[in-house]
Amino acid sequence: MRTIWKYTLNLQESTDAIIEMPFGAKIVHVASQQSGRVSFWVEYDIENRKDLIVRHFQVFGTGQEISAALNNWSLNDLQHIGTTLDGDLVWHLYEWR
């Protein structure tokens, strides 16, 4: 059975997150429901919850340097997932692949 789950990054705590989710999980939407938080909704088959993989996400604000320094990755490994508005701020969710 396919379902949709919500994940939230609290930007006051950190702009990056390492999250386990089932293999084949698909991000379907990015939004800011509360100030200082970026949420994203992920669709996956709950029967695949045993096959978890680790995924690395990072949020950058408009005008901020997009840097790989935190993860020791190449910028070529970075994929844009979505953008959301948070009052006057604009946040961009990326995934390290």
Question: Can you read off the two tokens belonging to residue 17?
Answer: 């997150």
More confident position, 71 or 56: 56
Strand ranges (DSSP E) for 32-88?
Answer: 37-45, 52-61, 78-86
pLDDT at 95: 95
Which residues have a Cβ under 8 Å from the Cβ of 94 and sit 6 or more positions away?
57, 58, 59, 60, 66, 78, 79, 80, 81
Q: What is the mean pLDDT of the chain?
A: 91
pLDDT at 52: 92
pTM over the 0.75 mark: yes
Question: Stretch 68-78: mean pLDDT, rounded?
Answer: 72
9-32 confidence digits (pLDDT tens): 999 999 999 999 999 999 999 999
pLDDT band at 47 (very low <50, low <70, confident <90, very high): confident
